[in-house]
Chains A and B, each alone.
Chain A
Amino acid sequence: MSAEKQYIDLYRSQKALIDANSAPALNACREEAAQMLEREGLHKPNDFTHVDSEQLLSADYLINLARHEVPTNREDLFTCAVPELSTNVHFLCNEQYIGNTDKINDSRFFAGSLREFAKQHPEIVKEYYNRLAGRKLDTGDKRSSKFETCSPGEAALNTLLCQDGFVLYVPAGVEVQKPLQLISLLRAVDDFMAVQRLLVIIGDNAKASLLVCEHASLLPKIDDASQFPDLLSLQTTEIFVGKHATLDFYCLEEHHEHAYRLGQVYVRLDEGANVDLGEYALTAGRTRNRVQIELTAPDAKIQLYGMAALDGSQQLDNLTFIDHQAPDCQSNELFKYVLDEQAKGSFLGRILVRKGSDKTDAHQTDRNLCLTPDTRMVARPELEIYADDVKCSHGATVGQLDQQALFYMRTRGIPEEEARMLLMFAFMSDVIDGIRIEPLKDRLKHLIEKRFRGELKQQCNGCFTR
């Protein structure tokens, strides 16, 4: 039986249980999602990505449909907050929202459980939930690139089984001063799939910053202590940014080799909206990020950053799609990879400028460093342009550290290893420099340094297995 069929059967047989542990506004979308999943399927073969989503999704996972209690002792669970970043921290364990450290309850906006929010404000959820993920984008031209950046099938599977998650709702005119931090932990003692959902709604003229930190615990399997369970996180994030609103959304991934992530981020920007979106992978297991950004009205602006430092047998695919639907919009995309040992990376970036989207300014850059002969990098930047008064460019490079620069530093007495480190930090620095939260910038630089020195792994293992 196909994986799609299995999931649909699971839904049909467990419908009562799934619905009972969720909210009506979320349940309302499931039937449509089942049809979408059946129609679109989960797997579309293509030669340019490494992560085998078909294999990942057809494995036998436990799914916490009955919403069994997870331990809620947060101090035990989470130790990896970003220091000195005076944030309001929210916690998500697998897909379940388990509270926050917010002492002053600011009632001007809502940050918390998706399930609770859907119960309290079904009308808002109805207006936004699954509006971006639940549809296939029509690119308006029959010839259009046959390559699909987003997977409607995977999004439908998420909608089909999603019961909880995190929501940030900032009504029009509200400026949230303090950055919010969402720490999301994958934690299980058997092969497990977490169906995670994030919904971010920023009203007109509103402002907010959200930092998502993804971690995975490394606990031995319950029935075989010599093995670690496979953890899969199936994520869908929908972001709506209203007129002249500003959002900073950064996602920091620290996973291990047994953690897999299939994530899709959908963003819709209204007139004059300004969004900073970053995907930073310090360590990954096998990760595929798909990002779809729609610039729907004039003067919208998006900065999209991506960074990946991979080693071992880690694999990471970034698939991005920026859709310029209106004139006078700007997009700027910068992705950097450092691949070591047997790591594999791919970057597929597509920019579409539709008819009439004049004065578009779209730039894309992808730079990659391969450090060993066993690494593999695939870059596929695409420009598809149907308007004439535009400025668009893309640049992509794959190479190694500059031998001349290395030599220069060594002649000045810097040991080779140190010189290599310096060059790698320098290589990564411009992805980080764009970040609009100062303390996060410093923290990230610190983490990257640790990452390249190989100190991160030990610390993280220590931190999560205690």
Chain B
Amino acid sequence: MESFDIIIIGGGPAGLAAAVAAKEEGCNSILIIERDKELGGILNQCIHNGFGLHTFREELTGPEYAERYIERVKELNIEYKLNTMVIDINSKKQVTAMNKTEGHFTIQAKAIVLAMGCRERARGALGIPGYRPAGIYSAGTAQRLVNIEGLMPGKEVVILGSGDIGLIMARRMTLEGATVKLVAELMPYSGGLKRNIVQCLDDYQIPLRLSQGTEEYFSCDTLLLSVGLIPENELSQGLGINIEKITSGPIVNDQLETSEEGIFACGNVLHVHDLVDFVSEEASLAGRNAARYVIVSAEMRESLAKINLIELISGKGVRYTVPKYINPIKMDEVVTVRFRVDKVYREGSIRVTFDNNEVWKRRKKIMAPGEMEEVKIKRQDVMSESKLQNITIEIIE
């Protein structure tokens, strides 16, 4: 059986960054498996700009951002397979996949990075009643049709959901000739970034209607749904990995290691992100840790596994945290904890408590569920507390 030190499932932004980081950490046997015909994942269809401000200090389009990593993967001679679908991963870290040239095959890994991304919530999951006509697309499917194939699903468009993809598509459809009549949102606030509301809707006088409990009739030939993303964890579930209910992603420790030893997760398969820059950062961490896992001896791993983990508690106003656990011995100098708040907070504060001691508090002008928040946990702070069990993150109004 063919074998690699690290197999990365998915060649999108997360998989690419994980591969690059793993290679830079010293691992020379890496394979990326990508199901589509090119690397880059969803970035290939995100042709708008606004990517890379954090990572490259400049504003790039999706394909340009992806290309930076693809170039790096090629420079580093990292192996990848395209048009290859992973069918199964078992607990012995054997990955079974299928493609046109090799057929159905199994390869062995020492460590695995899950970077499969997410899928869009479909109409059925929302229980929208009515007929099942043509012209109802998830926003991402329409984005692919318009941006990759150059095809227009319709000319009179209504968009349900004000998530970023919906907002971006409102502008894209308008620019290519369509009329977007309305963006309707079920919640009292938009799930999209401010910048997108301004530049995708306001610029084109596209009305945004938030939850009002009223009924109105709009005729359209196209309905786009931008109603949420779901991490694609069917492969992870097959592995028996513990899944966090709120995120639908694996529960991970500060190494981004799942409940299965040596299996790491990053990007939208772990939790849905707003900015690709944070995906890259998170994925680099997963890639680095996968490389370290492969390099470190089995005895070392075992002794480290015995350390009592510190649990991160999602306090008031915090829906979830990634990671969920911190290993105080293994942890990096600084661990970034990412989370989402449960509603819009104006002039609220984020508070971090170690067991019962407040260690950090910061005021924020605004916090919204659509924008991911983060706090940094320092190793020196953790080490100075003996027998630390819980770290609570909460929002004070």
Partners in one complex: no
